[in-house]
Chains A and B, each alone.
Chain A
Amino acid sequence: MTDPSPRAAQQTGPVVRVSGVDKTFRRGDRAVTKALEAIDLDIARGEFVSLIGPSGCGKSTLLRIVGDLTSPSTGTVTVNGKTAEQARRDRDYGMVFQAPVLFDWRTVEDNVKLPLEILGWDAARRASRAREMLDLVELGEFVKHHPFQLSGGMQQRVAIARALAFEPSILLMDEPFGALDEMTRERMNGEVLRIWERTGTTILFVTHSIPEAVFLSSRVVVMSARPGRITTIVDIDLPRPRTDETRESRRYFELVTAVREALRAGGAELDDRGTVGPGSDASIERTIAEGAVG
């Protein structure tokens, strides 16, 4: 069993290094879809990096490649100096999906304990960590509840607590707040930043929302569709800690504009809320990915 203590003491290079990654999907004998092309990306320890782009730009696919849920057609991914697969085996990843993916049959607390059970922690340690994590996401009084008794936002907080419970060195978040309303989303954004600042985890975050990406990130990676390419990387130099006032600052609006223009240059169509394209493409990508595997 690997030691689940914080990995801060590990080597200083980038946590994630993606180099020369292509991804093509083949569906039967039909034409191939080029989902990703020539992706190079380094993510440093403790960074908060967002991937943004139009539907079908492959941002979810890129995240899934980093997390070894699918493999690149060409190119390499190293995480903490290891292959992505080895990193997954070493439990370096915490995953948060758009849907909370909580198990109905487990209480909130037991859902958070799930990865700890799989990692073979003893019961006492599991219990204290689950408490700690649920306090962190401010759900301390809901430990004995079942997921269906919680609101969507609360469920997603449980999912975050579960992802952080075993202190993974990198948190992969695939449109975690895509299904939430605007108000809840903004609150959750604040929540994620608070947790990120307290834990110092590296976060790779996929989103459709420009304001969300700008508010959260240290860097925003802008992608274009067909084939999915990185067009621009926008450094977000907003001061931290970021608060509601950040959202009203001049610099914030400038950066939102910068990202929006970068997106437009990549050919994306935007709606008036600063959201790119319709709904989530994660499920579409997953469907394609399954087709490619099967």
Chain B
Amino acid sequence: MTTIGPAIAPTSRGSRPAVRGLRGTRSLAWYLPAAIVFVGGIVLWEVVVGALNLQAFVLPKPTAILAALQANWAEGRFALLPSATATLQEALTGLVIGTTVGLLVAFASVRWVTARGILLPLAVAANAVPIIAFAPLLNNWFGLVNPLSKALMAAILVFFPVMANVVRGLVDVEPAAVELMRSYAASDWTILRKLRVPNALPYFFTAMKVATTLSLIGAIVAEYFGGASTVLGRMIVQSASALKFDITWAAILLGAATGIVFYLVVAVVERFVIPWHATLRAEA
């Protein structure tokens, strides 16, 4: 399980981040309870909303939400697909910027111990600060309608978990492994390449899984403080204030689906890049 939120997984020295993501090796039976809950939940929702004749704008039926999704897919005042695409673009840009800067800083801080002494407490402090409070500032700096102001919000949210986790992954290597490398008279560069970087990969992927969600949250929160109107964040606010809650729900589900797909992409890449680790987890 990943910790979603500006979090660093609590790992003890030398142990791996205890991530148990999606397991490709699981049998279908493993997913059965979750699938039953999914189907059952939707049916129950549909039936109960219909039976109690709830006000449609509080909780529309799933079928109504689907209909709204279809009706507002590509065009109209609440065009959902272009909005989702725009938001995803902001989030992706932010993810790339935040991850790149996070990695650069992490590697720099491994090279220079003093930098680490400054950066890690800073990351902890940043964890304690509600960073989204900066969203209006970024809007003021880069312009309300500039997607960059949203992307940078996402980037800032992404930066800290990536930096902190990668630093930890690069530093928390088994001391005996470093001694082994020293006994080969390996250079710092070789130790970095052959020991620290592979060791940091699982930490990096843990951070990336958190970061995907954070980047979307950052983009949508920044949108909330104003900007272009064909973005998911504005769609949600505007449709809700127009009392078109079926559209609001459709937009929310689209946002959630985007987040889940985003997460799954990272999980799949992880399986390819560190299969040894994924297998380890499946066994554990």
Q: A101-B174, A146-B279 are in contact. Are A69 and B179 (CB under 8 A)?
A: yes
Contact with B along A80-91 (1 / 0, CB 8 A): 000000001111
* CB-CB nearest in chain B for A90: B185
Q: A89-B185, A146-B276 are in contact. Are A114 and B179 (CB under 8 A)?
A: no
B180 neighbours in A (Cβ, 8 Å): 95, 97, 101
B185 touches A91 (CB 8 A): yes
CA distance A234 to B184 in the complex (A): 32
B179 neighbours in A (Cβ, 8 Å): 64, 69, 95, 97
* CB-CB nearest in chain B for A93: B183
Residue B195 at the A interface, CB < 8 A? yes
A105 touches B276 (CB 8 A): yes
The segment from A22-30, A115-123, A214-222, A246-254 that touches chain B is: A115-123
B175 touches A88 (CB 8 A): no
Contact with B along A101-128 (1 / 0, CB 8 A): 1011110000000110111000000000
Total interface residues on B, CB under 8 Å, equals 23
A104 touches B183 (CB 8 A): no
CA distance A140 to B195 in the complex (A): 25
B190 neighbours in A (Cβ, 8 Å): 118
B184 touches A103 (CB 8 A): no
B184 touches A119 (CB 8 A): yes
Residue B20 at the A interface, CB < 8 A? no
B48 neighbours in A (Cβ, 8 Å): none
Residue A264 at the B interface, CB < 8 A? no
Q: A95-B179, A105-B201, A148-B283 are in contact. Are A115 and B277 (CB under 8 A)?
A: no
Q: A91-B184, A95-B183 are in contact. Are A105 and B176 (CB under 8 A)?
A: no
Residue B182 at the A interface, CB < 8 A? yes
CA distance A101 to B194 in the complex (A): 13
Among B187-234, those with CB < 8 Å from A are 190, 194-195, 198, 201
CA distance A88 to B179 in the complex (A): 11
CA distance A284 to B31 in the complex (A): 45
Contact with B along A145-164 (1 / 0, CB 8 A): 01010000000000000000
CA distance A91 to B182 in the complex (A): 10
Residue B115 at the A interface, CB < 8 A? no
Using a Cβ cutoff of 8 Å, how many contacts connect chains A and B?
A: 61
Interchain nearest-CB distance for B273 vs A (Å) = 10
A97 neighbours in B (Cβ, 8 Å): 176, 179-180
Residue A67 at the B interface, CB < 8 A? yes
B198 touches A103 (CB 8 A): yes
Total interface residues on A, CB under 8 Å, equals 27
- Overall SS of chain B's interface: helix
A194 neighbours in B (Cβ, 8 Å): none
Interchain nearest-CB distance for B178 vs A (Å) = 10
Residue B186 at the A interface, CB < 8 A? yes
Residue in contact with A117 in the complex, picked from B174, B194, B274, B280, CB distance below 8 Å: B194
Residue B237 at the A interface, CB < 8 A? no
* CB-CB nearest in chain A for B197: A105
Q: A146-B279, A148-B280 are in contact. Are A88 and B182 (CB under 8 A)?
A: yes
Interchain nearest-CB distance for A131 vs B (Å) = 20
A146 neighbours in B (Cβ, 8 Å): 276, 279-280
CA distance A148 to B174 in the complex (A): 16
CA distance A252 to B176 in the complex (A): 34
B183 touches A67 (CB 8 A): yes
* CB-CB nearest in chain A for B16: A104
Contact with A along B155-166 (1 / 0, CB 8 A): 000000000000
Residue in contact with A118 in the complex, picked from B176, B184, B274, CB distance below 8 Å: B184
B37 neighbours in A (Cβ, 8 Å): none
Interchain nearest-CB distance for A185 vs B (Å) = 20
A118 touches B194 (CB 8 A): yes
* CB-CB nearest in chain B for A89: B185
Residue A290 at the B interface, CB < 8 A? yes
CA distance A114 to B191 in the complex (A): 11
Residue B177 at the A interface, CB < 8 A? yes
Residue in contact with B274 in the complex, picked from A89, A105, A119, CB distance below 8 Å: A105
Residue A99 at the B interface, CB < 8 A? yes
Q: A118-B190, A286-B175 are in contact. Are A69 and B274 (CB under 8 A)?
A: no
- Which A residues have a C-beta under 8 Å from some C-beta of B? 64, 67, 69, 88-91, 93-95, 97, 99, 101, 103-106, 114-115, 117-119, 146, 148, 172, 286, 290
Q: List 26 A-B contacts (CB under 8 A).
A: A69-B179, A69-B183, A88-B183, A94-B183, A95-B183, A97-B180, A99-B174, A99-B176, A101-B174, A101-B177, A101-B180, A104-B280, A105-B198, A105-B274, A105-B276, A106-B276, A118-B184, A118-B186, A119-B184, A146-B276, A146-B279, A146-B280, A148-B280, A148-B283, A286-B176, A290-B175
Known pairs A114-B194, A286-B176. 11 more at Cβ < 8 A? A69-B179, A69-B183, A97-B179, A101-B174, A103-B177, A104-B276, A105-B276, A105-B277, A118-B181, A148-B279, A148-B283
